[in-house]
Structure 1
Amino acid sequence: MTTTTRRSLRLAGTAALLVLFAVELVIAWPSLTSAFTHLRTPHPGWLAAALAAELAAMAAYARMQRRLLRSAGVRVPLHRAVAVAYAAHSLSVTLPAGPAFSTRFNFQQMRRFGASPAIASWCIAFSGILSAAALAAVGATGALASHGTPDLTTLAVLAAGTPMLIIAVRRADVIERLLRRRLPRAASTIATFTEQLKAARLTPGNATAASTFALLNWLLDAACLWLRLRATGGTGIGLGPLLLAFCAGYAAGTITIVPGGLGIIDSAIILGLTTAGIDTPTAIATVVLYRIISFGVIIGAGWIVWSAIHALPRSGQAASSRFPSPIRRHPRAHARDHRNQAAPPATSASSRELITSASPCPWARTTADEP
């Protein structure tokens, strides 16, 4: 295929998309006009409540990760945990391949909080499992409230995965022996990683608190959707259809590479709301308000936080001023470290090399261990 042919095909495809967009715009113009009318007169009280619910949802997610770190002996001030949650969320939903950038950023910040590479990786993985399980529980609640049948298979897998991960961390020595037999060349790296992982002792209290915060994160986000609907004058939707529309939007957002799920999440939520009996103009206005709050406020604040973190000097003594007050570890964590210390540490350079080689996040090795 010649260059001219490829250029012609690209132009033809672009023209077809523009024509399709123009046709859809003409067809949907009456609904869009009515939706803009709703947006000109939103109820300020409901709008303020929606913003408060979204802020509370972000705080709940930050508290979940903070509780997981605390269970491993890493104490993080709440305002720093919230700041990292905002910045990581903005990276995740606005950049192409955003979750990878978000994971790297989370890993780096947890390392600076004092978490070992193993604990930081465990916290990121476990928070993802808790969040997915909580969203599945919300979806199941919506299905039951709508007299439907929830996806029990997904719930069972997620419900089984959480305790299995806890047991795996508690029996890290058994896993270490199995891995050392199969990967003898990486024995020292495996030993270091599993030794760090032993600090993660998730008690029933911490597990319950983290799970509660994960569930609150989604419930408050769903409440924000309902409050935005009320701000545009929408009424008459039940709990079940609301939760199903909410979960449908986020489920659709997981299968798209478009930053923020633009167009995909919006269409899924609009479809869910209209199926529940909400008129199309009100559903469109609700989703537009959702984008204003989530992109204009939450994501905007996250990028401001990210810029503030990276605006500070990154070398020498100035780099340590990024977090001027030390992050305290729980005394029991220090006691465990003292008991488990079988030999004096290696030199500074070799220790750093061993720690970074144990990290499952290779992209985080360049900056995670900066002084």
Structure 2
Amino acid sequence: MKQWLRFLGPLAILAIAAFLLRDKMPFLAEGYQQVLDANNVGLVLALIVTIGSMFAMAEVMRLLLMAGGTKVSLWKTAELTFVANAWSSTFPGGAAISTVYQYQTMRKWDVSVIVSSWFIVVSGVLSTLWLVGLGIVSILFLGASFSIWPLLGSATVMLGIAVLVYLATTHPKATSRIICSEVRTFNRLMRRDPERWIPAIRKHVRQLHAVHLPRRRFALIAALSLANWMLEILGLWLCIWAVTGALPGLERVGENPSFLGVILAFVTAKIVGTAQVTPAGLGPVEAAMTASLVAVGMTASSAFGAVFVYRILAFALMTILGWIIYLISVARGGMKAGEQS
């Protein structure tokens, strides 16, 4: 019950506030009317691509775990993806809870500690790099007045982590030697046994030998990670079409933004949402996305309507679906790995 209160509480407060302010802020009433008049075909297509984005991330998980020597079916990784998203979306700071849940589930699938950690790092790095890249592209082409240095800094850090992870995966002996040397130095500084933790570190790092990720498979995984973001953006794009009746094209036309403008609004909202002060950034994300869409050409009422519909699909419905899957999996005794047929 507490989980549902934490999830629905902020949404209910926002809805009540919007209702009470409808006369003082006319664009809210206009936006609600546009939501009621939305094109059902656009809404259904937006829902389909949003679900597709979840399956793209599930396939990233399946392929990365396969590279680590664990065969799991796509349906099982999809279940975990939906449930992890539900944990992340329901609680403030839910991303950390979601990561722990993913790790614990993979351990139940007999995935080693090092491969589970390797998956979390690699998938996170790829996802962040693509988001930063999309933001940089939209900023450069739109000429938006937005500081590019924080994005470049994030990209540099993520790229550095990606290189380190790749080197560790391809050179486990050297990795073990370097880590053990650093740990021994730390132990001496703490006046402890220099060999403390060394056997466990060697055991875990040796498990990197199990990771086999050819370039073609890595390229496929990277493409699927990009597809995850692009399908989410397409969901927003289709929601704009459903509400306004006009598809954003390559260039801005009147009050219809360009597709790059939609990307910029999406990336801006995602960056704002990373703080997760509220579940899934509820409140700040909607405000940032609406303001960004207005900045790239949309009216306030149309932007509000499109964002409202998009967040119902991408946030509320996906979270509810994740909790349904979680309850079903608990009733079955938890998630168990199933080999790909």
TM tier, shorter chain? 0.7 to 0.9
Aligned counterpart in structure 2 of residue 300 of structure 1, from 316, 320, 339: 320
In 2, Cα distance between equivalents of 1:122 and 1:138: 24
Gap change, CA 1:80 and 1:313, over 3 Å in 2: closer
Equivalence for 1:247: 267
1:328 Cα deviation from its structure 2 partner: 7.1
Q: Is the 8 A contact 1:176 1:190 kept in 2?
A: yes
Question: Which piece of structure 1 moves more, 151-160 or 252-261?
Answer: 151-160
TM-score, length basis structure 1: 0.76
Runs of 4+ deviating beyond 4 Å: 148-151
Which residue identity does 2:197 align to in structure 1? Answer: A
Pairing 1:1-371 to 2, within 5 Å after superposition? 25=21, 28-147=24-143, 150=148, 151-181=151-181, 182-183=183-184, 184-233=195-244, 235=246, 236-313=256-333, 323=336, 327=339
In 2, Cα distance between equivalents of 1:120 and 1:154: 24
1:129 Cα deviation from its structure 2 partner: 0.5
Q: Is the 8 A contact 1:245 1:268 kept in 2?
A: yes
Equivalence for 1:11: none
1:157 Cα deviation from its structure 2 partner: 3.6
Q: Is the 8 A contact 2:129 2:155 kept in 1?
A: yes
Q: Is the 8 A contact 1:113 1:327 kept in 2?
A: no
Q: How many residues align?
A: 303
Equivalence for 1:360: none
Which residue identity does 1:243 align to in structure 2? Answer: I
TM-score, length basis structure 2: 0.82
Runs of 5+ unmatched residues, structure 1: 1-17, 315-321, 330-371
Q: Map Cα deviations across residues 271-293 of structure 1 (whole Å, 9 max, x no partner).
A: 00001110111111111101211
1:96 Cα deviation from its structure 2 partner: 2.7
1:234 Cα deviation from its structure 2 partner: 5.6
Q: Map Cα deviations across residues 77-100 of structure 1 (whole Å, 9 max, x no partner).
A: 111111110000110111133112
Gap change, CA 1:81 and 1:313, over 3 Å in 2: closer
Which residue identity does 1:38 align to in structure 2? Answer: Q
Equivalence for 1:356: none
Q: Secondary structure at the match of 2:297?
A: coil
Q: Map Cα deviations across residues 325-366 of structure 1 (whole Å, 9 max, x no partner).
A: 75479xxxxxxxxxxxxxxxxxxxxxxxxxxxxxxxxxxxxx
Q: Is the 8 A contact 1:50 1:227 kept in 2?
A: yes
1:153 Cα deviation from its structure 2 partner: 4.0
In 1, Cα distance between equivalents of 2:280 and 2:163: 31
| Seq. identity, % | 27
Which residue identity does 1:282 align to in structure 2? Answer: S
Larger Rg: 1
In 2, Cα distance between equivalents of 1:242 and 1:326: 38
Q: Is the 8 A contact 1:87 1:303 kept in 2?
A: yes
Question: Which piece of structure 1 moves more, 202-211 or 287-296?
Answer: 287-296
Gap change, CA 1:249 and 1:28, over 3 Å in 2: farther
Question: Which piece of structure 1 moves more, 107-116 or 128-137?
Answer: 107-116
Gap change, CA 1:328 and 1:26, over 3 Å in 2: closer
1:141 Cα deviation from its structure 2 partner: 2.0
Equivalence for 1:6: none
In 1, Cα distance between equivalents of 2:235 and 2:300: 19
In 1, Cα distance between equivalents of 2:116 and 2:90: 23
Q: Secondary structure at the match of 1:169?
A: helix
Gap change, CA 1:296 and 1:154, over 3 Å in 2: closer
Q: Secondary structure at the match of 1:223?
A: helix
Gap change, CA 1:133 and 1:28, over 3 Å in 2: farther
Runs of 5+ unmatched residues, structure 2: 1-13, 185-194, 247-255
Q: Secondary structure at the match of 1:232?
A: helix
1:241 Cα deviation from its structure 2 partner: 1.3
Q: Map Cα deviations across residues 97-140 of structure 1 (whole Å, 9 max, x no partner).
A: 31122112111221233311110111011110011011111112
